[in-house]
Amino acid sequence: MRVAVVSDTCHYLPRELVESNGIHEVSLYVHRDGRTDRESDLRDYDAYYAQLGRAVELPTTSQPSIGDFLSVYEPLLDDGLEIVSIHLAGALSGTVRSAAQARDQLGERAGRVHVIDSATACGGQGLVVLAAAAAAAGGADGAGVVARAEAAREQLKMWFAVDTLEYLRRGGRIGTAQAWLGTALKIKPILALESEITPFERVRTSRRAFERMVELLRSRHAAGGDGWAVQHIQAPREAAALAERGREIFGREPTFISEIGPVIGTHVGPGLLGAGGTWASLLESAQDVK
């Protein structure tokens, strides 16, 4: 493998996938109660979300510094690698801009670093990162890895249902879903992320939100998006139930099931259930294809 794949911590892939795919990470930060933590160090999500539910003021979050990126990039470049660095949507965070600024400080080595705005987050970002890692494992060069990541993003569709829009409103990340605030107490919003958070559909009960997510997985299967995933925030039973329905639809295991961590969770709140996918073939390396 001559290309290293780098991402930030907002993909929320299971640790075993991060490690088995050789994905390098740069952490975002969470600020609360006068302290600053790297998101990568906040592994007890139950404790974090319990505190979040009691908080009078929401924690704040921040992007990695240029120095954080350089500390990951420089050893990889020293080893002779190209780098494809894939990040959280630029409309939500300055992370991808920090990555680009770090690249630009690398002088003549900057051309070996390819920075990509995934225009998504969480599970969608994770699938794009895995597609890039598969291409790298299959022997693609930097341009080939970039092309695979971009193809995965082009075919990607992800949706998420939330209990309330209040966390998005308070965190300033609500995007065009702002139009739904007046009826937020009467609906269960289903949202999408297409560069920014966008309203997709309003339903009236949690049960209907669940069934609508199942229908959306069927639409992914019909469109060829069989590289599917499920994510949640403090909703493991609902995620397991959705994954079971997904297995019936796709006839295969999800690429991953995981919980979304503190940086995105602070701005969305507990109760999220998300799912979607991209083409499964884009998640396979040349060695996987027999």
Tens-digit pLDDT profile for residues 15-60: 999 999 999 999 999 999 999 999 999 999 999 999 998 888 889 9
Question: What number is the average pLDDT over the span 106-133?
Answer: 97
DSSP letter for each residue of 176-216: GGGGGGGGGGG-EEEEEEESEEEEEEEESSHHHHHHHHHHH
User: Which residues on adjacent β-strands are paired with residue 116?
Assistant: 86
Report the pLDDT value the prediction gives residue 285, as an integer from 0 to 100: 72
In the chain the first and final C-alpha atoms are separated, in Å, by 19
According to DSSP, residue 65 is labeled P
Residue 282 or residue 186, greater confidence:
282
Architecture of the structural domain at 157-283 = 2-Layer Sandwich (3.30)
CATH hierarchy code of domain 3-154: 3.40.50.10170
Q: Is the pLDDT of residue 97 over 90?
A: yes
- Residue 85 φ/ψ, nearest 5 degrees: -115, 115
Query: What is the value of pTM for the model shown?
Result: 0.93
Nearest-angstrom CA–CA distance, 112 and 143:
10
Question: What number is the average pLDDT over the span 54-77?
Answer: 95
Q: Is the pLDDT of residue 181 over 70?
A: no
Q: Is the pLDDT of residue 249 over 60?
A: yes
Write down the residue that tokens 């020293």 correspond to. 78
157-283 matches 3-154 in CATH topology: no
Which positions ≥6 away from 125 have C-beta within 8 Å? 7, 10, 11, 86, 87, 88, 118
The mean of the pLDDT values for the chain is: 91
Report the pLDDT value the prediction gives residue 269, as an integer from 0 to 100: 87
Report the pLDDT value the prediction gives residue 203, as an integer from 0 to 100: 85
Question: What number is the average pLDDT over the span 136-159?
Answer: 97
Which helix (H) or strand (E) covers residue 274, if one does? strand 273-278
Which positions ≥6 away from 71 have C-beta within 8 Å? none
Nearest-angstrom CA–CA distance, 140 and 4:
11
Distance between alpha carbon 136 and the CA centroid of its chain, in Å? 19
Q: Is the pLDDT of residue 254 over 90?
A: yes
> What is the bridge-based pairing of β-strands 256-259 and 113-117?
unpaired
Tens-digit pLDDT profile for residues 262-279: 999 998 889 999 999 999
Question: What number is the average pLDDT over the span 164-181?
Answer: 58
Classified as helix, coil or strand, 77 is helix
Lowest mean pLDDT among 130-144, 166-180, 192-206, 229-243: 166-180
Cβ–Cβ under 8 Å, residues 113 and 4: no
Cα-based distances in Å from 226 to 205, 230, 247, 252: 27, 12, 10, 8
Report the pLDDT value the prediction gives residue 58, as an integer from 0 to 100: 87
Tokens of 84: 């494809």
Lowest mean pLDDT among 56-70, 91-105, 166-180, 204-218: 166-180
Question: What number is the average pLDDT over the span 202-208?
Answer: 87
Question: What number is the average pLDDT over the span 83-108?
Answer: 97
Q: How many CB atoms lie within 10 A of CB 13?
A: 26
Which positions ≥6 away from 75 have C-beta within 8 Å? none
Q: Is the pLDDT of residue 185 over 70?
A: no
Per-domain boundaries in the chain: 3-154, 157-283
Report the pLDDT value the prediction gives residue 187, as an integer from 0 to 100: 72
